[in-house]
Amino acid sequence: SVVGSAICGCEHRTGEGFVDRNVANVVTHTDFNCLSVVQYAVEVLKVKHIIVCGHYGCGGVIAALGRQKYGLIDNWLRHIQDVASLHHKQLEGLELKAKQDLMCELNVKAQVFDLCYTTIVQDAWMRGQELNVHGWIYSLSNGLLKDLDTTVTQLDQISDIYQMDCLLLYTSDAADHLP
């Protein structure tokens, strides 16, 4: 298990790190626990940086790449399988460990963007709040942290299909625009 506060270097400074964890760092628009944590961090604590930090050898990613049935968790792992499906050409022909390592990286990157697709993050940007969403990965074998060069800082960095007209939420006539 990786301790989030240790990665960020804030293990001795209470309140400087706010951590949410789940199997394979999956961020979905229907996970109200994750969304509640993010909303509190962004809107109440006014965090400026959110880090999606995965690790090589992630059991959730490895399980998602296999064909073994585990039960209820299989539904959760489906999100990772969707990422694998999108990147199947990159993963084809790789040896097992290389495939698993690349998939761990691709999963972190996908979750960074899934987090940015939320109304919480987009609303913060629309309010002019500084918010940076980073993708990092940690190596359990050597203790090194790798920046995946996946940092999203503003709305125009995400695909148009996911961008919402969040300004409507802040206008007095927003109800006039509802269907």
Overall average pLDDT of the 122-132 stretch: 95
Q: What percent of the chain has pLDDT over 90?
A: 73
Reported confidence tier of residue 160, pLDDT bands at 50, 70, 90: confident
**Residue 71 contacts by C-beta under 8 Å, 6 or more apart in sequence?**
none
Distance CA 72, CA 31 (A): 15
Task: Give strand pairing partners of 49.
Answer: 132
User: pLDDT-derived band of residue 167, with 50, 70 and 90 as boundaries?
Assistant: low
The pLDDT value given to residue 9: 57
Bridge partners (DSSP) listed for residue 127:
none
pLDDT of residue 19: 83
Tokens 């996908």 appear where?
Answer: 110
Which tens digit of pLDDT belongs to each residue from 108-118? 999 999 999 99
Starting at the edge strand found earlier in the chain, the sheet holding 145-152 runs 49-55, 132-138, 145-152
* CB-CB contact of 52 with 6 (8 Å): no
pLDDT for res 1: 47
Tell me the HSE value of 49 on the side-chain side, using a 13 A CA sphere: 10
Q: Over the stretch 60-119, which tens digit does the pLDDT of each residue have?
A: 999 999 999 999 999 999 999 999 999 999 999 999 999 999 999 999 999 999 999 999
pLDDT category, 13, cuts 50, 70, 90?
Answer: low
Place of tokens 């990613």: 61
Q: What pLDDT does residue 109 have?
A: 97
